[in-house]
């Protein structure tokens, strides 16, 4: 039976890491994974992460142009119920704030 698992993340970096884990470690198809803003506005998350941090750029100042307008939602459609546990574990590993499973 098919289902969708979705989760909300605070940073784009966390979403990217979860996607890479799902694809590289568990072999999920990248086209089955969807990413969107958790709000009506474009968003890079709720807090700075990854390239937005001063440690990721040549300068020593945090960037101030990141669109911090809410969470980032990742969802994945799966056909195998047994895969749900692997997906949920990967999302938890990278700091999912809210996890939803829909059949």
Q: What domains appear along the chain, each with residue ranges and CATH number?
A: 3-102 (3.30.70)
**Which residue intervals of the chain are DSSP H helices?**
12-20, 83-93
Provide the sign of the torsion angle of the four alpha carbons 8, 13, 14, 19, taken in this order.
positive
pLDDT digits (tens, 9 = 90+) for 69-100: 678 899 999 988 889 999 999 999 998 988 99
Of 12, 48, 29, 13, give the one whose Cα is nearest residue 87.
Answer: 29
pLDDT digits (tens, 9 = 90+) for 35-73: 988 766 656 554 555 555 555 555 556 555 555 667 889
pTM reported for the whole predicted model:
0.74
Write down the number of H helices and E strands in the chain. Answer: 2, 4
């Amino acid at each position: 039976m098919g289902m969708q698992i979705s989760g909300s993340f605070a940073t784009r970096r966390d979403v990217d890491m979860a996607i890479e884990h799902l694809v590289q470690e568990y072999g999920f198809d990248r086209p089955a994974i969807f990413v969107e803003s958790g709000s009506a506005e474009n968003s890079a998350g709720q807090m700075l992460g990854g390239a937005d941090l001063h440690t990721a750029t040549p300068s020593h100042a945090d960037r101030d142009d990141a669109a911090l307008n809410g969470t980032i939602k990742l969802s994945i459609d799966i056909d195998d119920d047994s895969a749900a546990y692997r997906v949920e574990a990967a999302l938890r590993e990278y700091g999912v704030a809210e996890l939803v499973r829909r059949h």
